Amino acid sequence: MITSSTTGYVPNQSEVAVADAYHGPWTVLGDPHPGSASRSSFCSQISSVFRHPEKKDLFIAMADRWLPELSDEIIDRVRQGEPLDSLVNDINTLVFDPNTSLADYVWLPLRFEGDMPTIDWREEWRIEEFR
């Protein structure tokens, strides 16, 4: 399972957990996004992971990005304690009265390091890259 906390539309850090049964017990493996400087899953929230029906080695993570204007840099600075109003002029409107019609999606392939699924940022990728 890949999941995260919820803070309204603001993205949170994801965690991977595994269990032999749906009701657990669960073992937390850690953050699947080692390259997300803000620890915010590349400013998105994982909503689904699925195996490509024609590629045996391709798993794809789909994530919601409710606030596309909210950058990794801004999230990182907020997590370090910088006041929101010092970051951008309209941060309060962005976070507290978001225009969710601007929301988009992030689609990224998963790779595995042993049993740990890892999701790296890629500006572009093609399904043909995978077996």
Question: For residue range 42-77, what is the model confidence (pLDDT) as tens digits?
Answer: 888 899 999 999 998 899 999 998 888 776 677 667
Stated pTM of the model: 0.79
Q: Are the beta carbons of 98 and 91 closer than 8 angstroms?
A: no
Q: How far is CA 47 from CA 11, 36, 84, 103, in A?
A: 12, 17, 26, 13
- Rounded CA-CA distance 127/16 in Å is 24
pLDDT band at 79 (very low <50, low <70, confident <90, very high): low
The whole-angstrom separation of Cα 104 and Cα 64 is 6
Pick from 10-19, 79-88, 96-105, 111-120 the range whose average pLDDT is largest: 111-120
Specify the range with the lowest mean pLDDT, choosing from 17-26, 69-78, 103-112.
69-78
What pLDDT is stored for residue 85 in this prediction? 56
What does the block give as tokens for 30?
A: 């850690």
> What percentage of residues in the chain have a pLDDT greater than 70?
82
CB neighbour class for 77 (10 Å; exposed up to 12, middle 13-18, buried from 19):
middle
pLDDT at 87: 60
Assigned token pair, 15: 């965690």
Dihedral over alpha carbons 23, 27, 32, 38 (to 10 degrees): 100
- For residues 17-39, give the mean pLDDT: 91
pLDDT at residue 90 greater than cutoff 60 = no
